[in-house]
Copies of this chain bind each other. A is one copy, B any other.
Amino acid sequence: MAIRQGLLALLDEGPAYGYQLKAAFEERTGGTWPLNIGQVYTTLARAERDGLVAQLETDDDGRVVYEITAAGRTEVAQWFQEPVRRETAPRDELAIKLAVAVTAPDVDVTAIVQTQRGETMRTLQQLTRLKRDADEDADLAWLLVLDRLIFDAEAEARWLDHCESRLARKAGEKAVRRPASGRSPRAAQGSAR
C-alpha cells in the first residue's frame, strides 16, 4: 500500500497530474525507488475506482489533473495517524532463506552468510558514498530515506555476524569432522529422503 498512500498524500498537498506525481515521489526518495510512470496511472485509476481521488477538468495544456476527495483525505490522515505495524510488513526474504537453509541438510549456511555479507557491505559503502556526496544540498526527505537504508543495512550486517557466531558455536558442538576442509561454498545440491 506504500505507493498508493504516498501518491495520495502528495495529492493531499494539492491537485496534480501523473508526471508531477512521479517527479514529486522520486524527488522525496532521491531516486532510491524510481517509479514507473505507468504505475502512477494504474495506481491513480484504482484510487479513483475506490473514490479516493477524482479527475478534474484537464488543464490549459490538456493534462489530466487529479484531485483528492474527502474520503481520500480521511485515508491520508489515518495513514499519518496510525503507526506502521510489524504484522503489515512483508515477510523478510533473507530471514526465510537462512531459516530454511539452517535446518536443511547439505546446505553450506556459512557460505550463504558470507556471500550475503559481501553484498550487504557493498550496499553499505554505496549508500555511505551517496550520503557523503549528497549531504550538502539534498533535502531532508532524501537524507532521511538514505539514513533509513543505511541503518537497515547495518542491522543486516550485524545480524549476519550474529548468525555466523551462532553457527560456529553449533558447529563446535558437533566436534571435529573434516580435519582440513578447504572451504567449499557450493550450496544446496539437492538431496533425497
Q: Of the candidates B13, B123, B139, which one forms a contact with A86 in the assembled complex, judged by CB atoms under 8 Å apart?
A: B123
* Known A28-B100, A93-B84, A119-B83; contact A166-B193, beta-carbon cutoff 8 A: no
Determine whether the beta carbon of B77 is less than 8 Å from that of A33.
no
In A95-137, the 8 Å CB interface with B consists of 95-105, 107, 112, 115-116, 118-120, 123
| Copies of this chain per assembly | 2
Residues 1-44 of chain A, each 1 if its beta carbon lies under 8 Å from chain B, else 0: 11101100110111100000000000011000100000000000
Interface residues of A in 146-171 (CB under 8 A from B): 147-149, 151-156, 158-159, 162-163, 166, 170
Interface size class of A (residues with CB under 8 A): 35 or more
Task: Mark A residues whose CB is within 8 Å of B.
Answer: 1-3, 5-6, 9-10, 12-15, 28-29, 33, 68, 73, 76-77, 79-86, 88-105, 107, 112, 115-116, 118-120, 123, 139-145, 147-149, 151-156, 158-159, 162-163, 166, 170, 187-193
Q: Can you list 11 residue pairs at the A/B interface with Cβ under 8 Å?
A: A2-B97, A79-B97, A80-B101, A80-B187, A83-B118, A85-B119, A86-B149, A94-B148, A95-B144, A96-B145, A102-B144
